[in-house]
Structures are given as C-alpha cells and as structure tokens.
Amino acid sequence: MTVKSRIEYRLTEALSPERLEVLNESHLHAGHQPGFDGGGETHMRIRIVAAQFAGKTRVARHRMVNELVREEFDAGLHALAIETAAPGEPVVW
C-alpha cells in the first residue's frame, strides 16, 4: 500500500470527507537536499472538506489531520501541506 493510499484510507475512515485529494508533490522538491531526486512519497498535500471541521480553527483542523497521519511521518514522510474546509466554506483549490 502506498503512502498516498494509506493517508486516503485513514482520513476517509475517520472523517468521511465530502471531498478528499491527496497529492504527491515530492517531484517539486527535487534538488532541495543533496541526493534527493524527487522520487518516492516524501512530500504530500492534502485537500479535504469534512463536516468535522465546522466551527474549528485552522490550527485545530490541522492538528486533527496530523494526528491521523502521524504514523506516516514515522515511516518517512518529510512534509505535509494541509488545506481544509467545512461544507459550505469557500474552497480555493
């Protein structure tokens, strides 16, 4: 199972999102560190719309997502960009 699919599974199970995109952006970071060619699944972006975010601050939303994918950092995920919204909020992505 890939990092992307594990993240999708965990977020879907926990948050039942209306919309979810998990993007591998590792290739955008090639050359940022010596020897890193942008391969693999080290830099991910999550775009998610879920009812559980209603009434929560941006920080609280990010904490929720980070807690759900914590194991991926232990397994080698280096960076995670998170874009959240509750249903009915404007989405700019």
* Residue 62: per-residue pLDDT: 98
Look at residues 91, 7, 86 and name the one whose alpha carbon lies nearest to residue 54.
86
Would residue 90 count as lying in a domain?
Answer: no
Residue 65, domain member (yes or no): yes
Q: What is the CATH number of the domain that holds 28?
A: 3.30.300.90
- 93 inside domain: no
Instruction: Convert the pLDDT of each residue in 44-82 to its tens digit.
Output: 899 999 999 999 999 999 999 999 999 998 887 888 999
Asked if residue 71 is part of any domain, the answer here is yes
Domain presence at residue 56 = yes
41 lies in which domain range? 3-85
Q: In a 10 Å sphere around its CB, with 0-12 CB exposed, 13-18 middle and 19+ buried, how is residue 29 labelled? A: middle
- In total, how many domains does the chain have? 1
pLDDT in tens, 17-37: 999 999 988 756 444 554 544
